[in-house]
Structures are given as C-alpha cells and as structure tokens.
Amino acid sequence: MVTALPKTLNASQSSQPKGFSMQSRVQELLKQVGPGKMSDVAYDTAWVARLGEIDSDLSNRALAWLSEHQLPDGSWGAERPFYYHDRLISTLAAMIALAHRGRRAHDSAQIERGLLALEKIIDGATAGLQSDSNGATVGFEMIVPTLVAEAESLGLIRRQSDKILSQLAEHRKVKLSLLKGKKINRYLTAAVSAEMAGEDGQHMLDIENLQESNGSVGHSPSATAYYALSVKPGNEQALNYLRNIANYRGGIPDQMPIDIFEAAWVLWNFSLVGNLGEDMKFLFRPLIDFLKHSWKPGKGVGWSAEYSLADGDDTSFVYEVLSRFGESLDIETVLLFEEKDNFRTYQFEANSSTSANAHALGALREAGFDLSSPPVQKILSFLVHARAQGTYWLDKWHLSPYYTTAHTIVACAGFSDEIARPAIEWMLRTQNSNGSWGYQFPSAEETAYCIQALEVWRRHGGDISNEITKKAVAWLEENSEPPYPPLWIGKGLYTPELVVRSAVLSALLISGRG
C-alpha cells in the first residue's frame, strides 16, 4: 500500500515572512509537497471549457480563465518563453472552445483577435515548426491534425491546413506504426493524448480499459475532458477528477497528480547539498518513505503512484535519489528500461530522452556499476552522440539546455569527466554579465541548475573560479522568488513550482549561502 503524501497547502498557509532561515524555507517547501503544484496551461483549460452543459460550472470557469489569459497578440500559450508548438496547439484549442461556447460580445471580440493570431501562426508554420530546437510538445503530431480538422469544420481555418499537416504527416505515421495496431489503453503512453481520436477515431481506443482509478485518462486533464465530452459523455468519475484538479479561477494544469515526480525531483535537488545535518534530513523522511513504498520491483514507478504506467526516467531518478539517502532498491528494475542503444523513458517512443539517460547513468553509478560496464558504456556513447555542437544537451521534457546539461554534468562528474568537461566550458562561456544564465532570458531556475552543476564539478576536483559562482549566487538571491517561467514541456509549457523552488534553494545551500 502506497503511503499518501499530505495535501498541498494553499497560498495563505505557505507565505514566508522576511528573515526566514534557510532551514525554515526548506521546511515550508516540504510541507507543500503532495499531489503536485503546477502552473495552469491554456491547452488543457480549453478542453475543460468545452464541457458546456455537462458541467457548466467547470466549463464557465475555464472559459473565464481563457478570457483572462489571451495574450496581447491574440494568441494563447506561454508568453515567455515563446515556443511555436505551444502557441499553435494552445491557440487552436482555445479558439475551438470559444467557437463552441463563446456567446458574449466580449467572446466575439476575442474570437476575432484570436483568428488573426491563428492566421499569423499558421502562415509561419513551415519555419515555426522547425524552429523549436527541443522538438514538439507532448502528443503534438497526434493531436494537432484532429484539432485542425475540427477548426476547419468550424470555419476557423480556411485553406491553410496543409501548411501544418504537411509538416506532421510523417511524424504521425511513425508514431502510429509504433503502436502496431494496438488499441490505446491506460498501459500505453498514447492514452495521455487520447483526444487525438476525435469523433471519428474512437475505434483506436480500448474504451473500457482507458480510465485510471482516479477517473482520469492518462492523468491528463485534456484527455479526460475529451473522454467526458465525447467517449462517455458526463462520466462522473472523469468529471470528479477534473473538479478536484481545477484551480478556483478555472485554470487547469498540464497533468495531475505528479506526486512521485514532485517528491523525487525535490529530494534530488536537496541531495546535492551534502552535509545537511540531521535536523534537515529528518524533514525529508516522509518523502523518502513515500517513494520507497511506491517502488514496484520488476516495474518501477511513473510520475504518480496512481498512474498505471511506469517509465524509465522516474524509475532511474527514484533509484538514484533513494540510494543517496541510504535506501536500497533493486537495480534490475532500472535495467528493464535498457534498449539496444540507450535507456528508454517509455515503450514505443519515437525519440529517446537525454535527461532520462543521464538519470539512468546516475542510478547505475549509485548501484556500483563501473565505467567499463556495458550499460554504462551504452549511455556514455548515447550522450556523446546526442550533444549539440559537441558541447551541451537538449531534451524533449525541458525547454532549457541548462537543465539537461546540468543533470548530465552531475551524472558524469568524477566518473566520466571527458564527457562533462566541454559542457562545463560551454556553461562558463554562456554566463551572463550579471551572473545569471538563461535560454531566452535570465531565469532563477536555469541559474540554479548551473550553480548546482558547477559546485558538483568543483567537489570532484574541477577548477571553477569563486568569482563565477559568487556572482551567480548574488543574482539568484535577488531573483529567487516565484513566479517562475514555464520551461517544462508537456502538451503546453508549464512550471512545476515546488520542483523549481527546490532547485533554487538547493543552489543557495550548495554554494554556502544558505
């Protein structure tokens, strides 16, 4: 039986008065770890807005959220950073929701502005879809053709669909071929994108085995809203799931719950600090016990204890972080995710994740595998070939190269220094003059990852100037508070706030400023 984490505190409970000690700040963060704390996203909110009379309260609040979050240019999605895939899928979904439900004069005005934005987005599809270096958002190739067809039927797109679809046809074909005719159920990752089936493709779904025990489809609000709208209209379990995760303002997160993901990443960030002291370690015990009880030998873990599907990234990460806290698990479960040339996150994935392989390397190191072991050599070879410009790494789960590169440096430092060294040099070379780092603009999250990586490198004998980290920490101390920009890649861009905040606090602690 899995030990449940406590419910997340609300904002008034978690406010931090000035002068809080670092231990108090860590303790306050740990109190909030639970089902997950994630920013709202336009894409999933738009799907909930379509529920109409099925649940008018949910639908109306989601519509109000969309109304409040239209961007100045008329589109939807993350304003900063700009990511083409996120803007396209978010704007399409929002426009369809408004076309179905918008009845007020204000809605009409927003629809007109949205149409103009959508036309510009689609006009730039050929270049835009190729401009995002990390690739598509989750399920993009599968979902967008369905949305485009619906937008055409509603008159939102006129003679423009080929500009998008011509770019996606081959990717969609590859992903469908990987399913090999299997019906989509809760044990396949495609369930997360079940809305791709639309009205005409429900033959692809194993409908009676699609729903999770919490009422969701794939722990995805958009897939669940589609299920309650078109597959089993008014399904009470699905609606209760959506009611439980909806923000009181109507916003909806990209996925929920994320209890294992949140707990593991928070713990990993603090595990980098080193000598935390017994009082601090005591604070981590509930999270350690939760992750240990969630572990399933021969299967591993997924991003939530309730989720049917385990994945290589969460499994490797949980193994690594629990080992750092003195807990023993079976490394054979991690090895189940080994493929011919790398370690996978999920079965039937079209491209491998760099960060998942870095985390698998971290797990193997903790298990005592040496540099010559075949699984380690396999990962190192993959990392060498996956480098961008021979120096840094990108990933499909996070927009910033600093996240993936920092995690890879931590996995390699003192183990395979020749792979990490060019990345360290790139990191030092790309520091901003004010001490920060950032992919499109300076951010606390990215700066924290760089401080973590440089301090771990220093700990393993690397030569890092004190002035470099001193300047970085000074900037971070002044810019450490949320809100944090959405740098994580789901169906849209999102922020797992407590994960990011734990990275920031970890960086301050590891640098000796805590």
Of residues 121 and 479, more confidence is placed in 479
Q: What is the mean pLDDT of residues 104-123?
A: 84
Asked if pLDDT for residue 190 goes beyond 70, the answer is: yes
Tokens standing for 216? 């969701």
Distances (CA, A) of 236 to 233, 255, 359, 422: 9, 19, 38, 54
Q: Can you tell me the mean pLDDT for 194-211? A: 94
Residue 499: alpha-carbon gap to chain centroid: 10
On the question of pLDDT at 399 being above 60, the answer is yes
Residue 513's pLDDT is 58
User: Which residue type is seen at 152?
Assistant: E
Q: What is the mean pLDDT of the chain?
A: 91
| Secondary structure element (H or E) that encloses residue 488, with its range | strand 488-489
State yes or no: pLDDT of 412 exceeds 60: yes
User: Rounded distance, CA 11 to CA 452, Å?
Assistant: 28
Phi-psi region of 71 (alpha: psi -120 to 50; beta: other; left: phi over 0): beta
**What pLDDT was estimated at residue 436?**
98
Q: What is the pTM of this model?
A: 0.93
Domains of the chain, CATH where assigned = 22-32+258-510 (1.50.10.20), 40-253 (1.50.10.160)
